[in-house]
Every structure is written in C-alpha cells, then in structure tokens.
Amino acid sequence: MALRRLLRLIELEPRPEEPRTDWGLKLALDDYTAGMANQPPVSQQSDSRSPAPAYGLVRDGVILEARNLTKRYRLGTRDVDALRGVSLQVRRGEFVALMGPSGSGKSTLLQLLGGLDRPTSGEVVLDGEVVSHLSDAGATRLRREKTGFVFQFFNLIPLLDVYENVALPYTIAGVDPRHGDAAARIREVLELVDLQGRERNRPDQLSAGEQQRVALARALVAKPAILLADEPTGNLDYATGGEILDELWHSCDAFGQTIVLVTHDARAAAHADRVLVVGDGKIRDEIDLGRRSANRDAGPLIARLAQLGL
C-alpha cells in the first residue's frame, strides 16, 4: 500500500465546517508525514521553539502531570477561555476519568495532555518530558512513542485490514509487523480485544463495536506510557459501549496500562480509579473510587455527581 495514496485518501475526507481540528485525522496525517520524512532520533532533533523550562524531577510514580494549564481560543473577535488553570497528576497504572458537562473543557484538556495542542500557559510533563514546549515534529514523535489515542470516531484506514490497521505503529516505525516481537504483540492485543480470526477483515466488514476494538488495539499495541480516550463509547450502543469500557479497564487492571478517559457518562466513569470533575475550565472536584472490581455499580458515583449538580 503506497503511503502517498493513503495520504491522498485521508485528505479527500470531508473537512468539518467549523475551524476545530479533527484530531483523529490530524494524528493519522502527522504520523504518516513523520514516517515518510524519516525523522532522526530525538537526540539529533533541534526543537526550534522556546526551550523547555527547567523542571524538577517528576515525582516517583507520577507519569503525567499538568501544571496550571490555561487555553484561550480566539473565535472570530471573541476569546474563549477553555481552560482556566488546571493542575493534575496521574500515577503510573492509574485509570482516571475526566467528567463534566459539554463545553467544560474536557477535550481541550485531553488534547493538551497528549501533546495534540499547546497550552496558552502552563506545562504538561509526560513520562519525564515537557510535552507542552516541543516543536511540531517533537510532539509528533512523542505522541508516536508515548501515547495511544482512542476517539469517538474510530479513524481506521479503510483500505487496510484489521491486522494492518493494528500494525500501523510498527509499520510507521519501519518495523516488519509480520514477524518476531511485533507479530507476537499484535496477536496479544487482538486477543485482548477479542478479535482473533478477524485479521483479514476490512473496517467496512466490521460492526461499530468491532471497529472501536480495532482502534483500541492499535492504541495499545506499542504499550504507550498513557492511553487517552475521548468519549470512546459515544458512537456505540449501550451493550457494545460497556464491552469497550470493560476492555479499557482490563488493560489497566491486568497490564498496568495508564488511562485518561474523557466521558460525560457516569457509567463509563465508574470504571476509573479516580474521577476528576471538570467545570468551566477548571477541576471542580475529585472523586476517589479505588480500583474497580468487576461490574461495579455506578449508582454511588451517579448520586455523588448529582450532589455536584451534574
């Protein structure tokens, strides 16, 4: 499959009317472009933007940290303050949910945490690297090496089969995904999301839930430092959404995968260890749920959220 043909294909997809970025599409484009450009290793890259500020050692066990993040968008002649000073820490192996009403700043926060966008002020440190001050090329490299993303829309490449879609991170990195450790890892994640035997199917031969499981497998295949999921069940029916959430939780519980999940659904958030309630661009509350046992009842979380007016 010629990469250039794929690129053209992605570019032909309709663009949204509004100026907001389709991050799924941008991710795919950036990763292909970066792969084609054959970037040098980090040590040889010069980041032309402002140098990363001196930053103390990330506290032991903390894999992701945000410090006083703000994000101001310009919308025509108007400024929109999407984030107004957010600080948080996520520990290695933790499952954190970001909840809050529509427009409260959850997606913006997730994008900054994953290096998809830069804050207006403040810092994001992921696995010891200051994400928020990287150049575009540096941010693309960091995303490829340290993050996995799952979005509401699955962003699979239609002409690639299940195996090839899941193998993309290896293919982009120039690793043959049909042999050795890569092939073993791909088989492992396909088993995790229960898609063995579907390797040769293309996305249009799969149900919505199966497509999201492919996207989840692709996000997990390179064992990212952090998995970022933005409303991953938003396009799925209740039962199928539940299966995806169970798989997310299982990847955390059984394999120590660190997860940050954006959701407006208390049932989804009930899978997390900790819920951060976002409101009007700030963290308004924190609800410590502890590690979920199978089939935790979302009732107490829903009651607590109701107390908070959500």
Give the binding site for ligand ADP (CB under 6 A).
20, 73, 75, 80, 82, 100, 102-108
Closer to ligand ADP by Cβ: residue 93 or 101? 101
Q: How far is the CB of 229 from ligand ADP (least distance, A)?
A: 13
Closer to ligand ADP by Cβ: residue 108 or 212? 108
- Number of residues in the chain: 310
Phi and psi for 282 in degrees, rounded to 5? Answer: -135, 160
Q: How far is the CB of 186 from ligand ADP (least distance, A)?
A: 32
Closer to ligand ADP by Cβ: residue 203 or 279? 279
User: What is d(CA 34, CA 16) in angstroms, rounded to the nearest whole number?
Assistant: 24
Q: How far is the CB of 19 from ligand ADP (least distance, A)?
A: 6
Q: How far is the CB of 104 from ligand ADP (least distance, A)?
A: 4
Cβ(83)–Cβ(71) under 8 Å? yes
Q: How far is the CB of 217 from ligand ADP (least distance, A)?
A: 25
Closer to ligand ADP by Cβ: residue 73 or 153? 73
Helix (H) or strand (E) segment spanning residue 308? none
Closer to ligand ADP by Cβ: residue 100 or 169? 100
Closer to ligand ADP by Cβ: residue 104 or 171? 104
Closer to ligand ADP by Cβ: residue 104 or 147? 104
Q: Which of 290, 242, 281, 307 lies closest to 66, judged by CA?
A: 281
User: What is d(CA 138, CA 118) in angstroms, rounded to the nearest whole number?
Assistant: 12
Per-residue DSSP letter, 41: P
Q: Which of 111, 159, 153, 163 lies closest to 14, judged by CA?
A: 153
Give Cβ neighbours of residue 220 (< 8 Å, ≥ 6 apart).
Answer: 148, 189, 192, 227, 251, 257
Closer to ligand ADP by Cβ: residue 6 or 80? 80
- Tokens 């979005």 found at: 151
Q: How far is the CB of 209 from ligand ADP (least distance, A)?
A: 23
User: What is d(CA 227, CA 92) in angstroms, rounded to the nearest whole number?
Assistant: 11
Sheet architecture: strand order including 259-263: 147-150, 226-230, 259-263, 95-99, 274-279, 282-288
Give Cβ neighbours of residue 199 (< 8 Å, ≥ 6 apart).
Answer: 161, 162, 163, 190
Tokens of 35: 């792969």
Closer to ligand ADP by Cβ: residue 80 or 183? 80
Cβ neighbours, 10 Å, residue 309: 9
Tokens of 232: 């991953």
Q: How far is the CB of 191 from ligand ADP (least distance, A)?
A: 32
User: What is d(CA 122, CA 166) in angstroms, rounded to the nearest whole number?
Assistant: 34
Q: How far is the CB of 113 from ligand ADP (least distance, A)?
A: 12
